[in-house]
Chain A
Amino acid sequence: MPGTGCPIPEKKEGPTDSVGGPFRSDYLAPGIWRLAPALAPGRDQGYYLAVLPLIGILIVVVGFALRLNPLLIVATAAIATGLAAGREIVDVISSFGKAFVDSRSVAVVWLALPVIGMLERAGLKERARTLISSIGVATTGRLLFAYMAIRQITSALGLTSLGGHAQMVRPLVAPMAEAAAENKLGDLPDRVRTRVRAHAAAVDNIGVFFGEDIFIAIGSILLIRGFLETSGIHVEPADLALWAIPTAICAFVIHGVRLLLLDRKLARLAADEPEPTIEAIPTGESVA
């Protein structure tokens, strides 16, 4: 699933030059490429053709480092990469539109929002909190540990749709984790509440990432197998799945220990002097 998040269209094999890019050095570049020799004289055109498309990576790294808006960064990088690859603008915008429409499937999870929103209005999050408050031994760390275990085991059985941030974390896991923290610490300062929520989202990711690869029919196993097949190497999906188990155990142990230490960390964080710079959460629930 970490791969399926942003589906990448099939790459077409083309001729490759010495650096490995799908370009020939005698390719006559249109558009901004004609400026390239003026920018860095002394190299042949193939060099620019191969290296300048890395501008997209540069935009991404610098943009995220400066904390600019991610959507703006990514759209800019996509168009810049297309232009740097020597495509005409109409061509670039067309490829851009096609890739966007072809990957609509990642957005289908938003269809859960009308139900989730309606249930929230009827008190779903409050009910989830009450339920956890009634379980005395529940702490944030233990609760998230249990959710991670369930998520990882069900993913290993191929049941990756039993979870997700919109379907499970926002309506159920996050409010329960917050309620467990409130049980121990009373009213939560925003910095503690946001830390709890961030960890609720993180366990969903870690559970599914390092569980699903144990299931033989998952996309990543099929991709590995297909790729090795093109290199003339035949492997069994079951063997690949078997070798996902050591990492799955390590992930469970590493993150499990961190979760069990989380309760103490939250207690320390709650006891700290309030930092004046903390912003309120936009829809900040006044618990008091």
Chain B
Amino acid sequence: MITVDFVYTLMGIMMVGIAIVNVRDRSSAKRYNNAAFWGIYGVTFLFGTRLPNFVNGLLVIAMVLIMAIGKLGGAPPELATRAEREVSAARWGNKLFIPALTIPAVTLLGTFTLKYATIGGAPLVDPKQVTLIALGLATTIALVVGMMMLRPPPTAPIVEARRLMDAVSWAAVLPQTLATLGAMFALAGVGPTLAGIFQKWIPLNTPLTAVIAYAVGMAVFTALMGNAFAAFPVMTAGIGLPIIVQQFGGNVVVAAAVGMLSGFCGTLTTPMAANFNIVPAKLLELPDEYAVIKAQLPTALLLLAANAGIMYLFAFRR
């Protein structure tokens, strides 16, 4: 059976490869720092489940220290000049889109079909992780298709992956580090404590103020925790159910569904939702890490107001 470990092994190999490309790049002043950073990250993929948690924790702390004290080097310049790329683009034409579109196409196909595939009665892939495995397979197939089509030097994929990874840099591990923060918050009961403070200070004496408090609370909470899924149980247990549903007789389906979507408005505004907001800013090589948030902010605020309106109009309708 193919499990998600297959995908993590691919990730580990890629990260170690990126570390090796870095170490061999004499033009990079920070090559040892970058190599150590990506090399350690690779180790967490290759051996993470087998190492003691304490060792994994130390590895991550080492990565953070390398970044904070030693600093990481930025992305190297592209190997092919713009003129060379123009010539190649004209030569290949729209065929260049084939390997790129193979990734979403095969991921989708795999998500729907791999569930049902069996070998000798046993499932071919771990049914709980189908989407991740499909994504791993899709990127591998796209790579094979691209290599066969373009016939670049064999090192091209890893050299180019290193260029992009070094552009994303530390932001690549930020989403996982945020998950550790979420775990600590859960362990320390930060959510209920915040909700307690919130309840004490917010007036909840009419349906309208309760709706505003719930919608805005979901957004603010999500912005602080970086995650609507962490905010939802806390805010719904604190305001949604006791006040909107029980005290004022609001519709629980409307309140809960729109409450969650109010949290998503918060997701659009916060650097804590790093993989949606900070990572793409780095990936698109924007000098301002908050540029994506700034583009989203007006929509998030208007939509939050719209959500409060929807909840107020429809939750109390009889």
Contact = CB atoms under 8 A, between A and B. Distances in A.
Do A and B interact?
Answer: yes
B44 A101 contact: yes
A254 B59 contact: no
Interface in B235-281: 236-237, 241, 252-254, 256-258, 260-261, 263-264, 267-268, 271-281
Contacts, number: 508
A54 to B, nearest CB: 6
A147 interface: no
A75 B189 CA distance: 18
Nearest to B45: A104
Contacts of A106: 175-176, 179, 275
Nearest to B309: A250
Interface stretch (A34-42, A76-84, A135-143, A181-189): A76-84
B111 to A, nearest CB: 7
Interface in B58-95: 58-61, 64, 67-68, 74-75, 77-80, 82, 85-94
A8 interface: yes
A111 B181 contact: no
B208 to A, nearest CB: 18
Contacts of A98: 53, 56-57, 183
Contact of A50 (B74, B181, B193, B281): B193
B229 A4 contact: yes
B229 A3 contact: yes
B194 to A, nearest CB: 7
Contact of B177 (A54, A74, A283): A74
B120 interface: no
A152 interface: no
Interface string A161-187: 111111111111010000000000000
Given A104-B176, A106-B275, A115-B103, A159 B108 contact: yes
Contacts of A69: 67-68, 170
Nearest to A8: B182
A209 B299 CA distance: 12
Nearest to B143: A115
Contacts of A93: 54, 57-58, 61
A246 B314 contact: yes
Contact of A224 (B103, B260, B276): B260
B295 A115 contact: no
Contacts of B11: 104, 107-108, 110-111
Given A6-B273, A93-B61, A94-B53, A104 B48 contact: yes
Contacts of B187: 81-82, 85, 87, 95
Contacts of B140: 111
Nearest to A23: B189
A118 B260 CA distance: 39
B1 interface: no
A258 B298 contact: yes
B116 interface: no
Contact of A123 (B89, B107, B192, B228): B89
Nearest to B236: A227
Given A82-B188, A84-B188, A61 B89 contact: no
A190 B14 CA distance: 32
A276 interface: no
A69 B178 CA distance: 13
B52 A71 contact: no
B56 A101 contact: yes
B167 interface: yes
A152 to B, nearest CB: 13
Interface in A63-79: 64, 69-72, 74-75, 77-79
Contacts of A246: 258, 310, 314
B49 interface: yes
A251 interface: yes
B227 interface: yes
B230 A8 contact: yes
Contacts of A23: 189
B100 A202 contact: no
Contact of B189 (A50, A164, A227, A255): A50
Given A20-B189, A111-B14, A206-B268, A6 B182 contact: yes
A206 B269 CA distance: 11
Interface string A235-251: 10001110110110011
Given A19-B196, A53-B189, A71-B171, A2 B276 contact: yes
A109 interface: yes
A45 interface: no
Contacts of A4: 229
A159 B286 CA distance: 28
B165 A165 contact: no
B164 to A, nearest CB: 5
Interface in B205-231: 222, 224, 226-230
A216 to B, nearest CB: 11
17 contacts: A2-B263, A11-B233, A56-B190, A96-B183, A97-B55, A97-B57, A99-B184, A102-B179, A108-B8, A111-B11, A124-B96, A124-B97, A126-B82, A172-B97, A202-B299, A205-B268, A220-B232
Given A106-B176, A116-B160, 9 more contacts: A3-B267, A11-B186, A22-B192, A97-B53, A103-B175, A107-B45, A127-B97, A198-B291, A282-B167
The 9 closest A-B pairs by CB, nearest first: A117-B160, A123-B89, A97-B57, A97-B56, A3-B229, A20-B192, A53-B188, A21-B189, A85-B188
